[in-house]
Structure 1
Amino acid sequence: MSYFIYQSKKVFYSETGNGTPVIMLHGDTASSTMFKMLLPLYQENFKVILIDFLGNGKSDRVDEFPADLWITQAQQVIALIEHLNYRKVNLIGTSGGAWVAVNTALERPDLINKVVADSFDGRTLANDFSKNLVSERNFSKNDEFAKQFYEWCQGDDWEKVVDLNTKALTECARKKLPLFVKPLETLSVPILFLGSHEDTMCRKDLPKEYEEMNQLVSNGSIHFFKKGGHPAIVSNAELSAKIITEFIYS
């Protein structure tokens, strides 16, 4: 297993495949484990790099997650790219990882070639975000399938990880913190917004939000699947891989 040191803690990462480097960024309460079943769809065309953000998966644990979680996680991605001495990598971020991907590109466009932002709410969190998140997390902690997913991604201490994440995100919503480190209109790298019309975990007006974000950026595109749940990169795995591969190599 490979690690790099970030703020005196070990951060797990892995590399597999050959070709153009692609870093896949997991969502909240998940880890790089969620991408294992997707690797066969990408590793023939890309060198796939996975990371477990601090406090998740095989990375060192933390006492708390900061409220600006998706911005601080972008700093971990930048540190990983610099550790590997890569230039112009591609980012595929899903759910919470989509904000991380965009923030990484906003902060260090010199390191990024293209960005895929999959299944995320965009520029703001809905007014009922915290209420819905707490309700969803409380339900999930008592749902056998969800508990198995959490344990698969996090290990035996999954419940603490989930609780720390919930606390951070509700604090982010309460304080109405900015979700992007810089204005979205300053994004200079090409971006593909990916989503599904049947995704019940994203905002109901997601198509409208994607359209408005796409108008702000200088080089953006959108793809929505008619079917499939959250996230689209998993529920429409083969089609997503084909679309993403074409986008990155175009």
Structure 2
Amino acid sequence: MFYSIINLYSNSFKTIVYDFPGHGKSDRLDRFETDFWFYNAQVANALLEELKLNKVDVIGTSGGALVGINLALENPEKVKTLMADSFEGESPLASYVSTIKEDRENAKQDSNVQAFWRSCHGEDWRSVVDNDTKVNIEFAETYTSFFHKSISELKVPTLITGSMEDEFCSHLDKIYEELRSKNPELKVYIFEKGNHPAMLSNRDEFFELTRKFINEHK
């Protein structure tokens, strides 16, 4: 998913990109953990432990943003700055979850979407997508928040970004405004144009924005 922008970041920073368990080039799982985004924050922390890394700059987009926030909430000593892009706030969007199964089945018939999923996950992309669909539904039926701690407890310098043209959520500005009401230290930047995620649809502007934010907190 990030092949097109990796060089942009690795030319300026030591860059580590990893696939969630069950995704991409990672080992396959029969099913995903229901508390998916918290579990994957634990995986990210284990990776940092294995690599003996502390005070890293974390960039997460979409579900990766939820993982990044969980990582910063649970292990703030590991995170120097956090950039969280194109995510739906603290709770699943009912409008997204209620149609995800039908939307995914329809998307499977689109050759362009098939090519994208195949490039991300390989020839078994269907099982990965099905597991992802199931976990989104299971999570919404089981939990009310993506996070185990309040967003008000997020003390790591954090930049939240998104686009007003995000096709999965047309009111990110209102969602982010609510987050800032709970934690005024959060920095917010909304792009006027660009689809989901803003990190890719506004790649150059997003990179300059994040580079500036990282350098401000060296």
C-alpha displacement at 1:87, in angstroms?
Answer: 1.0
Specify the SS of the correspondent of 1:152.
helix
* Cα distance per residue 1:151-188 (max 9 Å; x no partner): 00100110000001100110111223421121111011
Q: Is the 8 A contact 1:189 1:219 kept in 2?
A: no
Question: What is the number of residues matched between the two proteins?
Answer: 216
Gaps of 5+ in 2: none
How many Å separate the matches in 1 of 2:145 and 2:98? 19
SS, match of residue 3 in structure 2: helix
Map of 1:22 onto structure 2? none
Letter of the 2:83 counterpart? V
Match among 77, 83, 106 for residue 139 of structure 1: 106
Q: Give the fraction of aligned pairs with identical amino acids, expressed as a percent.
A: 40
Which residue is equivalent to 1:45? 12
Q: For residue 170 of structure 1, what is the aligned residue in structure 2?
A: 137
User: Distance between the aligned counterparts of 1:51 and 1:217, measured in 2?
Assistant: 29
TM-score, normalised to structure 1, is: 0.84
Task: Give per-residue Cα distances to partners, 1:165-219, cap 9 Å, x unaligned.
Answer: 10011011122342112111101101111100011112x3210110111232252
Match of 2:179 in 1: 213
The residue matched to 2:84 in structure 1 has which SS?
strand
State the alpha-carbon separation in 2 of the partners of residues 107 and 196 from structure 1: 27
RMSD: 1.1
Whose strand proportion is higher, 1 or 2?
1
Normalised by the length of structure 2, the TM-score is 0.96
Which structure is richer in relative contact order (CA contacts within 8 A, separation 6 or more)? 2
Distance 2:185 2:11 in 1: 27
Find the aligned partners of 2:16 and 2:183 in 1 and give their Cα distance. Answer: 26
Conserved? CA contact 1:196–1:226, under 8 Å? yes
Residue in 2 aligned with 1:240?
206
- The SS at the match of 2:27 is coil
Map 1:30-179 onto structure 2 (within 5 A): 34-179=1-146
List gaps (5 residues or longer) in structure 1. 1-33
Give yes or no for contact 2:57–2:79 (8 Å, CA) kept in 1. yes
Is this contact kept in 2: 1:129–1:173, CA < 8 A? no
What letter is aligned with 2:116? F
Q: Which has the higher helix share?
A: 2
Q: Return the letter of the residue paired with 2:177.
A: E
